[in-house]
Structure 1
Amino acid sequence: MITTATLEDVFSLEKLINSAYRGETSKQGWTTEANLLSGKRITLDELSEVIQNKSNSILKYTKNNQIIGSVLLVNKESKLYLGMLTVSPELQNSGIGKLLLKEAEVHASSMGLPKIVMTVISIRKELIEWYKRHGYEDTGVREPFPLNDTDAVIANQPLEFIVLEKKL
């Protein structure tokens, strides 16, 4: 079931997101950033701020009362920004990410937004290809990779974002 996350979900979401992006547990899945960055992907405080911001929605995929997937959606007035698409590492490749992407499109359409944009670390070729298979296109725009206080780059090459877009 996909519903909108609330502040009550912050602890579960923080654990899920960090386990899927960074550290040893993330290596069970194919979307890990553990070979590029160390540190937390997001803190409890950052997540609380995200949820409290009225421009943001976090959709959560719940099964058996456990959050096993989530996605951040940000209303940017003329488009919807999609970020932090997360699926529990041991459940990746089970279709949950695809369901969350489809629900993001429903969300954008319900808000009258004509497109969804996202940023992906440019050296994450498998992930970029996955998004392309789901209708996202490379805009040609590149953005610098911002580091959080908790980030430590361990990649042996510079990091930047590629901007992907899907017109609805």
Structure 2
Amino acid sequence: MSLSLSIVPAKQEDVPSIVHLVNSAYRGDTSRKGWTTEAELLEGIRVDEAGIKQLLADANTTLLKATTEADELVGVVQLEQQGTSMYLGMLTVKPTLQNGGIGKQLMVAGENLAKEKGCAKMVMTVISVRQELIQWYQSKGYTITGDRKPFPTDPRFGIPKQPLEFIVMEKPLA
């Protein structure tokens, strides 16, 4: 399935729909319709409106949104410039549309933005037990650096059902 998408920076008026999309893709029963669910690993929500508003207000952060011709929000990705690196996070695709290329299109758009801003590499963190996700990123040119980061203890990001940590992955930009 190939959707015609518009990928543009999100705005403050997009906050409620972004919150709904991200939470539905990562947590709860709706997320189980896709392959990126964290419902077995974490309880609670993935994001709230205050958190998304904070990201949009950050001059170093861009949220790119993917919408259909009917203006339906079907994907979002967080990009945060950190010196010569661009952090890619919260890559989200509507669960019923996963495996259709939307995530890849958002990732490419993020990498293009990073190049425009003069970044030398993309960096991301992935929950270490998410092997299928790690393999997907590896198939897109990302490698495991060996660095690890603790999972946040702030319940605003979810309540772990088991001990969790992040691995760091990166991809050089040509």
TM interval, shorter chain, is over 0.9
Look up the match of 2:3.
none
Query: How far apart are residue 152 of structure 1 and its match?
Result: 1.5
1:126 lines up with 2:132 in the alignment: yes
1:31 maps to: 36
Partner Cα distance (1:90, 1:146) in 2: 28
Equivalent residue of 1:40, what SS? coil
Deviation at 1:78, TM superposition (A): 1.6
Q: How far did 1:147 drift?
A: 2.5
Shift of 1:154: 1.5
State the distance in 1 between where 2:16 and 2:48 align.
10
1:117 is aligned with what amino acid?
V
Displacement of 1:148? 2.3
Give the 3-state SS of the residue equivalent to 1:106 in structure 2.
helix
- The reply to whether residue 9 of structure 1 matches residue 14 of structure 2 is yes
**Where do residues 3-152 of structure 1 align in structure 2 (5 Å cutoff)?**
3-63=8-68, 64-150=70-156, 151-152=158-159
Q: Please identify runs of 4+ aligned residues in structure 1 that moved more than 4 A.
A: none
Q: How far apart are residue 166 of structure 1 and its match?
A: 0.2
What is the letter of the counterpart of residue 11 of structure 1? Answer: P
The alignment of Structure 1 onto Structure 2 pairs a total of residues equal to 166
Tell me what 2:161 maps to: 154
Task: Output the TM-score relative to the length of structure 2.
Answer: 0.94
Q: What amino acid sits opposite 1:18 in the alignment?
A: N
AA at the equivalent of 1:26? S
Q: For residues 101-142 of structure 1, what are the alpha-carbon distances to aligned partners after superposition, in whole Å with 9 as ceiling and x for unaligned? A: 111110000000010000000000000000000000000001
3-state SS in 2 of match to 1:33: coil
**Normalising by the residue count of structure 1, what TM-score does the alignment of the two structures yield?**
0.97
Q: Which residue of 2 aligns with 1:167?
A: 172
